[in-house]
Amino acid sequence: MGTVSDHSEYSEPEVLFKNPQIHVKNPHLDTMEEDILYHFNLGTKTHNLPEMFGDVKFVCVGGSANRMKSFAQFIHQELALPGNMDNVTDICEGTDRYSMYKVGPVLSISHGMGVPSISIMLHELIKLLHHARCIDFILFRIGTSGGVGLEAGTVVVTDKAVDCFFRAQFEQVVLGKVVTRSTELDVGVSKELLQCSSELDDVPTVIGNTMCTSDFYEGQGRLDGALCSFSTEDKREYLRKAYNTGVRNIEMESTVFAAMCRACAIKAAVVCVTLLNRFDGDQISTPHDVLVEYQQRPQVLVAHFIKKRLGLVV
């Protein structure tokens, strides 16, 4: 452990993607009589988590509650499950923080916007999967992003999630110390997703690095926020640097998502569609119907991946 000015910093030892069982890295959980997953309105004493979630093999998370409900209905239809897809129910309806839908072996959950919101959700989700004794599952983040040198509508499967300095790491301050975690994602899942995209029409897909920022405006070099202290050329130069390091899109959740999944030995992928090319502008002016179709592309790709894994398509 080294000292950097007024704070200490260290990197945690990595857990690679080898064990099919989840690695919850918290010894205190074993001493608790009950674990209340407060933001899900679930708990180990109030709910039979293995019975409710033990068969989950695919977990898909995204920012919008409405979008994740739509995805649950879509995957219900794609898997040809019995019952009416419109009758999917929100397991977390007792809270207004997140929404959760279970459709066969697929769990669809909203995570809100930004690192703090998805971080809270991931802590409770990973504990939920641990308590439910789930094994051999894959976790996906599906969402939207700003493209860097890519046409709008392009799906980016993340190779590495990088911070605003283009480093493949996530820094979490814990008790006044900076804990640094790797943000590399599972290469095999990324390649499999890319292969799946080649089997679909109108889902242009690339693998590239995803830059995660702390906000939507200044942090992403936008010129249209309430505050802006840089020029158009400053913005373009920053985007050029990002592009040259392999960044192909920008969003606000990928680093903590990748870091927590890697730390807990969870196979995971980030699959986001670009809504615009940030070299061409900042504001999203694409017609609503076109945006809706763009936003469906990550869902279509992940659904195809799931169906192939389940042997429903060749």
Q: Which of 47, 45, 12, 11 minimizes the C-alpha distance to 26?
A: 12
In angstroms, the CA 308 to CA 55 distance is 17
Q: Which of 99, 117, 116 minimizes the C-alpha distance to 108?
A: 99
Token pair 């609503």 in the structure block, residue: 288
The answer to whether 286 and 274 are in contact (CB under 8 A) is no
In angstroms, the CA 155 to CA 216 distance is 19
Tell me: is residue 138 an annotated ligand-binding position: no
Tell me: is residue 36 an annotated ligand-binding position: no
In angstroms, the CA 228 to CA 218 distance is 7
The answer to whether 182 and 262 are in contact (CB under 8 A) is yes
Q: Which of 256, 255, 271 minimizes the C-alpha distance to 160?
A: 255
Exposure string of 236-250, with b = 16+ CB inside 10 Å and e = fewer, is: eeebeebbebbbbbb
CA torsion sign for 274, 303, 71, 189 is negative
In angstroms, the CA 213 to CA 106 distance is 29
Tell me: is residue 283 an annotated ligand-binding position: no
Tell me: is residue 236 an annotated ligand-binding position: no
CA torsion sign for 17, 114, 205, 308 is positive
In angstroms, the CA 299 to CA 64 distance is 13
Tell me: is residue 142 an annotated ligand-binding position: yes
* Chain-centre distance for alpha carbon 18: 21
The answer to whether 271 and 59 are in contact (CB under 8 A) is no
Tell me: is residue 207 an annotated ligand-binding position: no
Tell me: is residue 222 an annotated ligand-binding position: yes
Annotated binding-site residue numbers for substrate: 220, 222
Annotated binding site: 97, 141-144, 220, 222
Query: Can you say which residues are annotated as belonging to the binding site for phosphate?
Result: 97, 141-144
